[in-house]
Amino acid sequence: MRNRRILWWIVGACVVVLLGGGGIAIAVTSGSGDGKPDASGSTPAQPGPLATSAAPPPPSPGADITGPLDLVLIGVDTRVSIPDWEPHADTVMLLHVEADLKSAYLYSLPRDLRVKMPKYAKAGFGGGTYKLTEAMSRGSRVPGSKKHSVEQGYELLTRSLSSYTGIEEFQAGAILNFGGLAKLVDQLGGVDLRIDERVESRHRKPDGSMRTLRGGDYVGPQAVYQPGERHLEGWQAIDFARQRYGLDDGDYDRTRHQRQLVEAILTKAHDQGLGQNLSQLEGIISALGDTLVYLGGRTPLEYAYALRELTADGITVVDLPGAGVGRGGGYLGEQLTAESRGFLKALVAGNPDGYLAKHPKLINK
């Protein structure tokens, strides 16, 4: 069985998984009566010579968290080599955890999904209908400055997600850029992935270096990922999961590949027993540095403890198909099918399981 202690973080992107894994290990050992410091750094009181029983341990951090929960993981298209590049949400994954905290639904929304964005005074944004990916960039702008705030971008993105999905609040989120995820895969020693279709890289040469950008497009030799069982190192795994050009279903194929990569990372993390190896976890987290931004009212440790019984078998992965929309021959973005939008309505109404029973094709086998 996959390590249930680190689940939602792994599902989102193994970085967040690792944060949860380290935290839950601490939470489980705290208050065990062995005199070791608990998560807050204090030492549980020991019974005196006349005591007949030990005082009950304090509740673990996160024990008071109740469901349902809605969590968001964003893969940011950040050009770290360009100062103050505007962030774009290249990947948007959502995890809805049911009230029992033991079952959940994982789904993605297309980066080009057309959504109504509310006004956002912090960025001087007047609102309007744009592609979902633009919420990060438009929200990140700091008026009167060339700097950008990823946290602001996240705030406008989640407000836009609430407007579109009907989900009133997202309890926590994590933002990770491509460089961070590549570091993570390398720290794991690479991943084994079953590639289901030929994918040509738009960005990388076969040796991993960047292709030459000329006239708005990349030129020169390119990395190619052939179907079959492949072992990928960090740059290859992320490059493969980024591609959408040249694929039959574009961004929908890409989101499928991203979920396959998440599964491969999950498997590798489980095989290495990372939920029990705190020193290795700390090394991986340290290597990620500022490539990860965590946002939430509670800490990763608390959410990890609250979701300790959420296993991989308890997560239903849902595909939300859609199609392109345009005007006058021009491409405007994507829209979900009526069936996909129906799932979101059922989710908010508290009946996703009943809806999927009637629409089983949405379940990613």
Does residue 151 surpass a pLDDT of 70?
Answer: yes
Q: What is the pLDDT of residue 278?
A: 52
Average pLDDT over residues 178-190: 81
| Stretch among 37-41, 76-80, 341-345, 360-364 having the lowest mean pLDDT | 37-41
Does residue 42 surpass a pLDDT of 50?
Answer: no
17 vs 247, which has greater pLDDT?
247
348 vs 187, which has greater pLDDT?
348
Does residue 295 surpass a pLDDT of 90?
Answer: no
* Band of residue 272 on the pLDDT scale cut at 50, 70, 90: confident
pTM of this structure: 0.72
Average pLDDT over residues 82-89: 74
% of the chain beyond a pLDDT of 70: 74
Q: What is the pLDDT of residue 289?
A: 58
| Stretch among 15-29, 308-322, 336-350 having the lowest mean pLDDT | 15-29
173 vs 10, which has greater pLDDT?
173
Does residue 41 surpass a pLDDT of 60?
Answer: no
Beta pairing class for 104-109 and 89-97 = antiparallel
Does residue 294 surpass a pLDDT of 70?
Answer: no
Average pLDDT over residues 142-161: 91
Does residue 271 surpass a pLDDT of 90?
Answer: no
* Band of residue 37 on the pLDDT scale cut at 50, 70, 90: very low
Average pLDDT over residues 85-110: 87
